[in-house]
Structure 1
Amino acid sequence: MNVRLSLQEQIRRKSVKMQKTFDTIGKHDRSHFILSLEQLADKNYPFPGDDGIVPTKKKYKKVSPNSPLFSVDCEMCETSNANRALTRISIVNEQGDTVLDTLVKPDGYITDYVTQFSGITAKMMKGVTTTLEDVQTAVQSLLPPDAILVGHSLEYDLQAMKMAHPYCLDVGQVLNYTNGNSGLRNSLKNLSELFLGENIQSAYGHCSYEDAWAALRLAQLKLKNGIVFGNTSFGWKYTEYAKQDDEVCEEKKEIQSKQSCSGCSQPTVVECTVRNCRCRFVSVPDKCVRCIREGQNEQGDFDWAQSLPVERDKTASPIATYLKKDKMRSVMCAFDRDDLDLMDSSSKK
């Protein structure tokens, strides 16, 4: 007979497992923080084959403690064909540098730029010819086969990209300073203010680079501190964290001059509308979206379905474990009558 484990016991066992890995390699295994197959489905993450969804790679590798992080954020506008159509995408590597940043021409015509939230204006979109298919090809080429995608409410970004990825780390899922059991996620803006001391998404609008950078820094903070950190449902308390004097903010780098594509002389990044935005102070790619060759696409050994992380943590344990550990000779149990009727005579006894 199996006894269902309490949430506290599940977290304790997972923490012990993660600590053993940390003691061995000196850092947390990143695969412990990615969403399981059940979580991907529960949060409505896109799957290949659904409504034209394509995978980010043809073949993947298994994730490891050294698998690289790539943070992604998208900005969307309302169009004649869709309520949320991709109009800008930014991808940031672990060093905080831009590896992809482009405006995207959506299908149909834009009915509302939603500039207050998207940071997109009609002037910015004038002359844009990059398509969603261009972005998909670039993403497939840029990401290594064991990349872990980072974001906040990442399912919406992937839905806008019409792409599926098996290794996803959602900072809104692993960090929750209010009530992690409610299923609701703290906003990226609030998480950034609390944990990074950074004010993002200001009155000047959103920048997809800035949001991707914030999600990346939050993910790195979580990986550094472990599974309990930042999640009240796991017993974490903000009052204890607030006593620490650690400086988590990072200084802006010396400003980099914006580059033109080495292949076609087109700009490789977007000039956003946010005043003094962080995106202006980082290294930028040397090629535009269309000049990224699909032939450079590195592949792994597993297809999309084989790469999906399946939840293997048991939520129940044999009762014999407790009898042996506590040296008990008997235990009181209760069964639903319908379940009891299905048991054979020896089990009933």
Structure 2
Amino acid sequence: MATCVAMDCEMVGGPNNEALAARVSIVHENGRDVLLDKYIKPSKPVSDYRSAISGITPNLLYTADSLQEVSSQVARIINGRILVGHSLDVDLKALNLNHPEHMRRDLALYVPFRKMNGGHPASLKFLARNLLGRTIQDGQHSSVEDAKASMDIYRKVAHEWQ
């Protein structure tokens, strides 16, 4: 069993531009194997699909599982594991989940990465380009691609993070 997993969500806009989870992807600590990739039927009315960025369209969500169903699957996968990602608090909130702070590895909060960006959180796109030499988020985003990039970035610094 993997000791850590990386997660990323794609969001659509809800009431008052609230971020609603519309897709969640989780990858294994090897950075390659996808453990979960699910579209989520939004729990509130969608005001903006953000399709140009999110890649989400109404058709993709038409037959999607409920937020409750998908969140339960996510909870089972992340339970007892280190959770890697970028701005994890946003994803966890959108999924109505909690995960212990000491079990999170949030790239947006990691001080050495913030120093690379003048003290501010560095975007995942910036980190992937500068630490992996990889271009991501060029056009529509993919939560699978972003979760894989998060894990690969974390693996580069995991020995320092602990």
Q: TM-score, normalised by structure 1?
A: 0.42
Aligned equivalents of 1:126, 1:178: Cα separation in 2: 39
CA contact (8 A) 1:71 1:91 kept: yes
> C-alpha offsets along residues 272-299 of structure 1, whole Å, 9 cap, x if unaligned?
xxxxxxxxxxxxxxxxxxxxxxxxxxxx
Counterpart of 2:144? 209
Question: Is residue 143 of structure 1 aligned with residue 78 of structure 2?
Answer: yes
1:82 Cα shift? 5.9
**Of residues 127, 136, 142 in structure 2, which corresponds to 1:191?**
127
Identical amino acids, percent of aligned pairs: 33
Aligned equivalents of 1:108, 1:144: Cα separation in 2: 26
Counterpart of 1:315? none
C-alpha root-mean-square deviation of aligned residues, in Å?
1.9
Counterpart of 1:178? 117
Structure 2 unpaired stretches of 5+: none
Question: Is residue 88 of structure 1 aligned with residue 23 of structure 2?
Answer: yes
Letter in 1 for 2:97: M
SS of residue paired to 1:165:
coil
Moved more, 163-172 or 77-86: 77-86
The 5 A counterparts of 1:109-124 are 109-124=45-60
SS of residue paired to 1:172:
coil
Question: Is residue 97 of structure 1 aligned with residue 30 of structure 2?
Answer: no
Aligned equivalents of 2:96, 2:58: Cα separation in 1: 24
1:118 Cα shift? 1.1
SS of residue paired to 1:85:
strand
Q: TM-score, normalised by structure 2?
A: 0.87
Whose Rg is larger?
1
Counterpart of 2:4? 69
Aligned equivalents of 2:38, 2:52: Cα separation in 1: 19
Q: Which has the higher strand share?
A: 2
Aligned equivalents of 2:69, 2:59: Cα separation in 1: 21
**Of residues 75, 86, 108 in structure 2, which corresponds to 1:152?**
86
Aligned equivalents of 1:187, 1:119: Cα separation in 2: 19
1:142 Cα shift? 2.3
Letter in 2 for 1:118: S
Aligned equivalents of 1:138, 1:112: Cα separation in 2: 26
Counterpart of 1:270? none
1:81 Cα shift? 7.4
Aligned equivalents of 1:102, 1:81: Cα separation in 2: 25
CA contact (8 A) 1:90 1:208 kept: yes
1:67 Cα shift? 7.2
1:70 Cα shift? 0.7
